[in-house]
């Protein structure tokens, strides 16, 4: 491998000649051989750094034109566009397990953008610290990158995926109006419910989750940028924080604003805890929906069998013809991963010592993994399962009329205790509710037929 010599404040270092990073990135590669190739800093963070570094250059040319020249700004913006597009992903090798402030990832961005910008300009125009990091610190850039990445992940990935499921559930509601089935509580037979009503519960849960995510977005759109090292804004010109937030807004199409209190923005991660709580709520509801679907589809002969779902792949290496609810299982595994991530996010957010939180990379990793997994599993669940859900109307009708809990309809006519006796006799002797009720002398056959209408119990 060919190398070139780079240097930082600690001295010279060999760097692979084909890579755009510099000495500080190289030191991190050598000092943190933890999870290499498995737990690289999320690409959402790399993307966010491209946005914020471009925004910083645009703000600096307004606030410090004597330092940020047109030529420098143009080169920085061009290099940042390549970072944003993902063209330079191979030049961001650092793992999550590094300094808790994300300093090395900030310097990775500074070095890559400086070197690429110099190549674009055709001259040694840019310095990683003096130009790319102008008016900034790792301590305000990394929390800013997390907020930008979180907002983009929630608004552009998670919410659209949830809306896709919601729309299909709306369609299924309309298609199944008037289809009555047995309800179930405690995994036991309960009074009837319309299948459309059951689906409406799934749909409404997701709508509420989208609403909760929406509530978390406003505080996430406050940016720490401009607080620099400890929140005082040292070395940042007046107005930089407002200008850079506006530039981020223009670049993303989202309404970001500068944080009202930078001391809070650097050390507290409560906004991310709150937002991840909304993701955990979504995970909990997806767990419930996926479990409902696989229970209702259980069988094909010895389960509930009340719905049909798409048969996507063979389900067993030994049992021929077996097909399993694999999409449901994937959703439930994602749900438990998100719940575990929530614990990490909470613990990480609690480590705000004095003026800085030093667990930000692992917080970012877990938050963004949750958002990514939820968005992708909802799309997969939708495309490979939910769109193909069909009611097994004959089985629903059979189960409904075989349910002893229909006896609840008789309460107003024979009372709770007599209704209980009717249900128990029907179960014990394996006869119908009608036969049991008449046998016990509570109602005549004619009166039973007059008052007993399961389809009207919904």
Token pair, residue 234, equals 């040292």
Spatial separation of the C-alpha atoms in residues 106 and 370, rounded to whole Å: 23
With tokens 């349910």, the residue in question is 403
Enter the tokens of residue 447: 């009166």
Q: Which of 214, 213, 239, 215 is nearest to 225 (CA)?
A: 239
The answer to whether 139 touches 356, Cβ cutoff 8 Å, is yes
Nearest to 74 by CA among 88, 92, 54: 54
Alpha-carbon distance of 239 to 226, in angstroms, equals 9
Burial string for 113-144 (b: 16+ CB within 10 Å, else e) reads bbbbbbebbeeebbebeebbbbbbbbbbbbbb
Give the DSSP letter string of 312-341.
-SB--SSSTT-B--HHHHHHHHHHHHHHHH
Show which residues are catalytic.
Answer: 186, 316
| Neighbour tally for 81: CB within 10 Å | 14
308 burial level (CB within 10 Å; 0-12, 13-18, 19+):
middle
**Whole-angstrom distance, CA of residue 424 vs CA of residue 444:** 19
């Amino acid at each position: 491998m060919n190398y070139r010599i780079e240097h930082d404040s600690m001295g010279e270092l060999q760097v692979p000649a084909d890579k755009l990073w510099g000495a500080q990135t190289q030191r991190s590669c050598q000092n943190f051989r933890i999870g290499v190739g498995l737990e690289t800093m999320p690409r959402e963070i790399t993307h966010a750094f491209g946005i914020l570094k471009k925004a910083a250059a645009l703000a600096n040319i307004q606030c410090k034109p004597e330092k940020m020249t047109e030529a420098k700004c143009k080169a920085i913006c061009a290099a940042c566009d390549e970072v944003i597009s993902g063209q330079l992903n191979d030049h961001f090798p650092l793992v999550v397990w590094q300094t808790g402030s994300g300093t090395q990832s900030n310097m990775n961005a500074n070095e890559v953008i400086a070197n690429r910008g110099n190549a674009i300009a055709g001259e040694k125009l840019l310095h990683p610290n003096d130009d790319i990091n102008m008016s900034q610190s790792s301590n305000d850039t990394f929390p800013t990158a997390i907020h930008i990445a979180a907002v983009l992940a929630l608004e552009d990935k998670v919410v659209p995926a949830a809306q896709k499921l919601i729309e299909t559930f709306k369609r299924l509601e309309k298609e199944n109006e008037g289809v009555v089935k047995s309800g179930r509580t405690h995994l036991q037979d309960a009074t009837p419910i319309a299948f459309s009503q059951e689906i409406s519960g799934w749909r409404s849960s997701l709508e509420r989750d989208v609403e909760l995510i929406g509530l978390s977005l406003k505080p996430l759109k406050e940016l720490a940028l401009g607080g620099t090292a400890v929140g005082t804004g040292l070395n940042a010109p007046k107005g930089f924080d407002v200008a850079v937030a506006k530039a981020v807004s223009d670049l993303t199409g989202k309404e970001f604003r500068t944080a009202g209190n930078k001391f809070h923005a650097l050390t507290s991660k409560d906004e991310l805890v709150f937002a991840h709580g909304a993701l955990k709520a979504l995970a909990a509801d997806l767990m419930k929906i996926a479990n409902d679907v696989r229970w209702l589809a259980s069988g094909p002969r010895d389960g509930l069998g009340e719905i049909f779902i798409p048969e996507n792949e063979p389900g067993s290496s030994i049992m021929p013809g077996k097909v399993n609810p694999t999409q449901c299982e994937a959703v439930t595994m994602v749900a438990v991963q998100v719940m575990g991530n929530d614990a990490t996010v909470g613990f990480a957010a609690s480590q705000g010592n004095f003026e800085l939180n030093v667990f930000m990379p692992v917080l970012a990793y877990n938050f963004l993994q949750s958002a990514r997994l939820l968005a992708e599993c909802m799309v997969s669940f939708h495309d490979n399962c939910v769109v193909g859900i069909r009611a097994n109307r004959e089985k629903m009708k059979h189960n409904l009329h075989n349910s002893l809990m229909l006896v609840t309809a008789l309460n107003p006519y024979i009372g709770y205790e007599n209704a209980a006796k009717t249900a128990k006799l029907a179960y014990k002797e394996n006869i119908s509710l009608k036969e049991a009720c008449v046998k016990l002398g509570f109602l005549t056959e004619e009166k039973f037929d007059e008052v007993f209408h399961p389809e009207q119990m919904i």
